[in-house]
Structure 1
């Protein structure tokens, strides 16, 4: 698939990085595309993924520490990260994992979740009907551009698991576990969840 839905939203996420942020944790980093974009902004990035194959393919990059780790088992430093990102990875673990991520945020730090959700409601299907033709056109355009540039798709992709938690449940759980968070539906079967640690803990 030449058009990557997660890559499409990189700029949206980058605009929400707090001014002066220095440290970041990228959960489910895959082959490291977004981690590299964070590092390019001057952040020191810890990038973790449960897939050894994906982490191996990520290689090395200045300012980034790639490692194989399960976010539900690894011990995260408390109050450390200015930015924590989860791109299409949170549905691979219990949603309650956000509690540990919240605890790892520094005061003023931001948790950014680009999440996936299944189509379960009339609103889901309405947005999906809009997304399908746009997605098809974008895929054709990106594929044509890649051919012109001589690019080929990545040989290694992170493991894929279909999401099972509907958006209304995600909204309810985030309101409970991340008070003050904001969640909005995006095109291409995604949602954006933003939580700022204004309480300092």
Structure 2
């Protein structure tokens, strides 16, 4: 598929960045495209992923500056994260690869006032969710045609491998329920192209542990 649903939402996620430079963590960074966009916005970025191939591609692409990007291979469920270290943590189409309660690690790793942004994949649960699915089909066809035309003008689609995909998605109502329990005050919004957006801002007076 030439049209990438995750890349489509990069501008939406970038609008959630805190003002000024800061430290960011991109979980499941893949080939580093979003990590590089964070660096272009001035962030000092750490990208972690379990795929050696994706990290090789990410490293080879370098960093656009003015911020920097450093990558490491790690399983986020086992990787220690420095408490209150990050102004921004992103997780693009990767949270369903790990238990949802992994967000508690992100919660602890965020600095007070920091933002967690999850662009996730989930199965519809409510009539409104199914309505979004229906709307997405024709919109996706149009987007694919436009992207395919652009690829032809630019020498063809990217021949390099894509990140591994797991299709075992949770139900969106389960995501909503667990977000209420583990990230009080968070919002979960269904997006058009088979994604949801979970946003949580850590209160400035949030306890340092937990």
TM-score per shorter chain, which class?
over 0.9
Question: How far did 1:120 drift?
Answer: 4.3
**Offset of residue 128 of structure 1:** 1.0
Matches within 5 A, 1:152-167: 152-167=157-172
- Cα distance in 2 between the residues matched to 1:153 and 1:70: 27
**Cα deviation digits, residues 111-165 of structure 1 (max 9, x gap):** 0000000234433322111100100110010110111122422512111001431
Show the counterpart of 1:54.
Answer: 54
Of the three residues 117, 124, 141, the one matched with 2:122 is 117
Q: How does 1:4-19 map to 2 (within 5 A)?
A: 4-19=4-19
The answer to whether the Cα contact below 8 Å between 2:187 and 2:199 also exists between their aligned partners in 1 is yes
Looking at structure 2, the residues matched to 38 and 194 of structure 1 have their Cα atoms a distance apart, in angstroms, of 17
8 Å contact from structure 1 (residues 116, 163) kept in 2 = no
Ranges of 4+ aligned residues in structure 1 off by more than 4 Å: none
CA contact (8 A) 2:21 2:44 kept: no
1:129 maps to 2:134: yes
Segment drifting more, 16-25 vs 136-145: 16-25
Task: Tell me if the contact between 1:57 and 1:156 (Cα under 8 Å) persists in the aligned partners.
Answer: no
Structure 1: runs of 5 or more not aligned: none
Q: How many residues of Structure 1 are paired with residues of Structure 2 in the alignment?
A: 201
Partner Cα separation in structure 2 for residue 154 and residue 23 of structure 1? 32
Instruction: Give the secondary-structure state (helix, strand or coil) at the position aligned to 1:26.
Output: strand
Runs of at least 5 residues in structure 2 that lack an aligned partner in the other structure = none
Q: Provide TM-score, normalisation by structure 1.
A: 0.96
Corresponding residue of 1:24:
24
Distance 1:67 1:158 in 2: 15
In 2, distance between residues paired with 1:156 and 1:54? 8
Deviations 1:87-123 (A, max 9, x none): 0000000000000001000111100000000234433
Give the TM-score, by structure 2 length. 0.92
Q: What do you get for the CA RMSD once the two structures are aligned?
A: 1.3
SS in 1 for 2:89: strand
